[in-house]
């Protein structure tokens, strides 16, 4: 289980650029749950994921993982339990290293790294098998530098890397946003399959309401640094995009003003 308790984050505090990004976020994800997150630009979705991953320090509040307070843990220490796929395919993989070396790096997230060769035969075989499932022919390019791959291929590799080893929480921040629609569908479908197969606790930020409602088992909406809506089970099952918009208008007294959110 991963939990944010009364999280407050303000960027550039005490300067004219002061931006309150999170204003008291309470967000609890039980083990094995797949949650989707929506909200307009600047609502605080990415900041919440960054707080979970440890990239953004909190001003107030606590982050717990499996009951343990990890609020002050550095990013690399949390990475053993929390893995992520970034929006930008360039961030998730290291382009100067080969596909295999990237997987070796990801392997080291949960297994000890050492003064042994990073790549042995068993890893090559295991990696080939895993990337083969993608059907992109990457199993024949294991020694190619990742910089030679397309954005979609890199994102697929990022996803497999993030689900290497036994870290239990997967954070996805609009990880299909930079891809063309077809590739995006493919990566999303792969995400669903992997999360289900490994029984991961997953949090996925998306800009598509339809996608949010059709993926995972729960949807939360952020607005101005707070969670304003949280639906799961039957309530969510019968929900359509129009219902979401209506609900937003009712609770916030304004129209949702984000064209991206309305699409699809």
Partner 1 sequence: MSLYELLGTLETGFVFGLVALGAYLTFRILDFPDLTVEGSFPLGAAVCAALIVTLGWNPWLATGVAAVAGFAAGWTTAYLNVRFNILHILAGILLAISLYSINLRIMGGPNEPLLGVDTVFDTFGGFGVAGYVISPIFLGAVTLTVLILINLFLHTGWGIAMRAAGANPSMAQANGINVGSMKLFGVGLANAMTALAGALFAQIFGAADAYMGIGVIIVGLASVIVGTSLLPSRTILQATLACIAGAVLYRFAVALALNADFLGLRASDVQLVTAVLVALALIGQVSGIGIKRFFKTSKPK
Binding site for partner 1 (CB under 8 A): 53, 55, 74-77, 79-80, 83-84, 86, 91-97, 101, 104-106, 108-110, 112-119, 161
Give dist(CA 151, CA 180) in Å, integer.
Answer: 9
Q: At which residue do the structure tokens 């609020």 appear?
A: 71
- 72 contacts ligand ATP (rule: CB under 6 A): no
List, in order, residues 6 or more apart from 234 with CB less than 8 Å away: none
| φ/ψ bin of 227: left (φ > 0), alpha (ψ from -120 to 50), beta (otherwise) | beta
Give dist(CA 100, CA 186) in Å, integer.
Answer: 22
> Of the candidates 2, 34, 44, 70, which one interacts with ligand ATP according to CB under 6 A?
44
The residue whose Cβ lies closest to Mg ion is 46
> Of the candidates 43, 99, 172, 227, which one interacts with ligand ATP according to CB under 6 A?
43
Name which of 97 and 262 has its Cβ closer to partner 1.
97
Strand order of the β-sheet with 2-11 is: 19-29, 2-11, 60-65, 68-69
Is the Cβ–Cβ distance between 181 and 152 less than 8 Å?
no
Q: Minimum distance from CB of 231 to partner 1 (Å)? A: 30
Name which of 41 and 166 has its Cβ closer to ligand ATP.
41
CA atoms within 13 A on the CB side of 34: 19
Q: Any idea of the CA torsion for 206, 33, 249, 10, to the nearest 10 degrees?
A: -70
x/- track of binding to ligand ATP for residues 1-20 (CB under 6 A): ----------xx------x-
For helices 99-107 and 151-162, angle between their N-to-C axes, nearest 10 degrees: 20
231 binds, among ligand ATP, Mg ion, partner 1, none (CB under 5 to 8 A by kind): none
- 102 contacts Mg ion (rule: CB under 5 A): no
Name which of 46 and 176 has its Cβ closer to Mg ion.
46
Which SS3 state, helix, strand or coil, does residue 221 take?
A: strand
> Of the candidates 33, 46, 48, 83, which one interacts with Mg ion according to CB under 5 A?
46
The gap between the terminal CA atoms of the chain, to the nearest Å, is 31
Q: Minimum distance from CB of 227 to ligand ATP (Å)? A: 12
Name which of 46 and 191 has its Cβ closer to Mg ion.
46
47 binds, among ligand ATP, partner 1, Mg ion, none (CB under 5 to 8 A by kind): ligand ATP
Residues that bind ligand ATP (CB under 6 A): 11-12, 19, 21, 39, 41-47, 222
């Amino acid at each position: 289980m991963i939990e944010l308790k009364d999280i407050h984050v303000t960027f550039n505090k005490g300067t004219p650029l002061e931006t309150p990004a999170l204003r008291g976020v309470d967000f609890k994800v039980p083990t094995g749950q797949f949650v989707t997150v929506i909200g307009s630009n600047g609502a605080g979705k990415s900041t919440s994921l960054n707080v979970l991953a440890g990239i953004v320090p909190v001003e107030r509040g606590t982050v717990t993982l499996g009951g343990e307070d990890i609020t002050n843990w550095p990013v690399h220490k949390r990475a053993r339990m929390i893995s992520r796929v970034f929006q930008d395919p360039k961030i998730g993989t290291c382009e100067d290293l080969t596909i295999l070396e990237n997987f070796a790096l990801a392997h080291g997230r949960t297994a000890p790294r050492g003064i042994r060769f990073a790549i042995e035969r068993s890893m090559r075989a295991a990696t080939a098998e895993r990337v083969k499932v993608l059907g992109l022919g990457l199993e024949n390019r294991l020694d190619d530098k990742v910089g030679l791959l397309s954005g979609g291929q890199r994102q697929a590799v990022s996803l497999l890397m993030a689900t290497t080893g036994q870290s239990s929480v997967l954070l996805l921040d609009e990880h299909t946003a930079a891809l063309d629609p077809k590739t995006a569908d493919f990566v999303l479908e792969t995400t669903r399959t992997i999360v289900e197969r490994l029984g991961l606790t997953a949090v996925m930020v998306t800009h598509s309401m339809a996608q949010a409602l059709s993926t995972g088992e729960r949807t939360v909406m952020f607005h101005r640094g707070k969670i304003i809506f949280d639906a799961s089970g039957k309530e969510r099952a019968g929900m359509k995009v129009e219902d979401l918009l209506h609900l937003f208008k009712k609770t916030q007294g304004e129209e949702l003003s984000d064209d991206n959110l309305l699409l699809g």
